[in-house]
Amino acid sequence: MIKNILKKENYNQNLNSRYTKGKLYFTVFFTALMIAIIGLAILLFQIISQGTEMLSWTFVSSYPSRFPEKAGILSALVGSIWLMGLTGIFAVPLGIGTAVYLEEYAPKNKFTQFLEINISNLAGVPSIVYGLLGLAVFVGALNMGRTLIAGALTMALLVMPIVILASREAIKQVPYSHREAAYALGATRWEVVRSVVLPSAIPGIMTGAILSMSRAVGEAAPVLAVSALVYLTFVPTDPFDRFTVMPIQIYNWVSRPQDGFRELAASGIILLLVLLLSMNSIAIYIRSKYQNKSEE
């Protein structure tokens, strides 16, 4: 037997100073959180105190006007919803398809590695760059005009990296053992993807898709380049109509000198926030619902 040379008196646990250090870090982290929350609260307070007065059904259901009291956000609201829907139709299937290909089918070689790195890079490209690309390609070269469809295609390019990255993360979370189990039962690759991988990954994929849609609703720069319209007194009724969106309308109101328009802008922001928050809530709801289901 080897003699134990360790002695009790050689240990100095020093619990007090260790706990103090812990408290110090807790304070630092808590303060960081509080600064973020307080900043957000001030912002919200200012907007709500300015915007609630003008926020009414008239505001939601009227077209823009020279007179603040008559002006509304209808064309921009409908434009935003159209843009979101069309963007989703383009970006979500393409994004999920790309993610499934990269995770489940693509051979692991230099080319796919190159693709993967560049998809991550694309997620970081400033949105105005996409706007100019959309202007040159969809509006110009493909001759679509400054229409909803051109805006949606531009926006789809912008949010696709988000869908792809979120979907890939969700697909990666599916344990390899589940795929193995399916293969061992005589499943083909497509059956493994459809019956094992996608059902498990769908909550994560949906969350990514919805978050990408809310990104699309909040973006102004690409639409500014593609649409360039602000004052729109009709509601787009098909994908080939001209359009404007809420962030642009809000930006326009903010830049006017009259106080009335400032209040309108605040009302518009509230509406936009409600839209964004409800979409994020849907994402959270879907995630928690599926999580509970699989743990039942």
Partner 1 sequence: MVTDEYILSSDNLNVYYGNFQALANVSIKIKPNIVTALIGPSGCGKSTLLRCFNRMNDLIPIFSLDGSIKYKSQELYDDTTDATNIRSQIGMVFQKPNPFPKSIYDNVAFGLKINGYTGNYDEAIENSLRRAALWEEVKDRLNKSAIGLSGGQQQRLCIARALAVNPEVLLMDEPASALDPIGTLAIEELIRELAGSVTIVIVTHNMQQAARVSDETAFLMVNDNRAGYLVEHDYTDKIFTNPSEERTEAYITGRFS
Residues that bind partner 1 (CB under 8 A): 107-108, 175, 177-178, 180-188, 191, 195-196, 199-200, 293-296
- Tell me how far, at minimum, the Cβ of 210 lies from partner 1, in Å: 22
CA distances (Å), origin 195, targets 52, 178, 187: 49, 10, 9
Task: Between 159 and 171, name the residue whose CB sits nearer to partner 1.
Answer: 171
Q: Where are the alpha helices (DSSP H) in the chain?
A: 15-51, 57-61, 74-100, 110-122, 127-134, 148-173, 176-184, 189-192, 198-218, 221-226, 246-254, 259-295
Task: Between 23 and 293, name the residue whose CB sits nearer to partner 1.
Answer: 293
- Tell me how far, at minimum, the Cβ of 288 lies from partner 1, in Å: 15
What is the DSSP secondary structure assignment for residue 141, as one 8-state letter? I
CA distances (Å), origin 49, targets 44, 46, 258, 262: 8, 5, 17, 12
88: which residues sit within 8 A by CB, 6+ positions away? 209, 213, 216
Give dist(CA 128, CA 224) in Å, integer.
Answer: 9
CA dihedral 13, 15, 20, 21 (to 10 degrees): 30
Task: Between 91 and 206, name the residue whose CB sits nearer to partner 1.
Answer: 206
* 3-class state of residue 204 by DSSP: helix
Task: Between 163 and 205, name the residue whose CB sits nearer to partner 1.
Answer: 205
CA dihedral 232, 233, 238, 241 (to 10 degrees): -40
- Tell me how far, at minimum, the Cβ of 116 lies from partner 1, in Å: 17
Sign of the alpha-carbon dihedral angle for 218, 222, 228, 229: negative
- Tell me how far, at minimum, the Cβ of 209 lies from partner 1, in Å: 21
Task: Between 104 and 256, name the residue whose CB sits nearer to partner 1.
Answer: 104
Task: Between 106 and 122, name the residue whose CB sits nearer to partner 1.
Answer: 106
Give dist(CA 246, CA 219) in Å, integer.
Answer: 9
- Tell me how far, at minimum, the Cβ of 118 lies from partner 1, in Å: 23
CA distances (Å), origin 10, targets 4, 6, 14, 76: 13, 8, 12, 73
| 163 backbone φψ class: left, alpha, beta (φ>0; ψ -120 to 50) | alpha
- Tell me how far, at minimum, the Cβ of 193 lies from partner 1, in Å: 12
Task: Between 238 and 296, name the residue whose CB sits nearer to partner 1.
Answer: 296
Task: Between 102 and 160, name the residue whose CB sits nearer to partner 1.
Answer: 102
- Tell me how far, at minimum, the Cβ of 238 lies from partner 1, in Å: 42
Query: What are the φ and ψ backbone dihedral angles of 144, each rounded to 5 degrees?
Result: -85, -15
- Tell me how far, at minimum, the Cβ of 184 lies from partner 1, in Å: 4
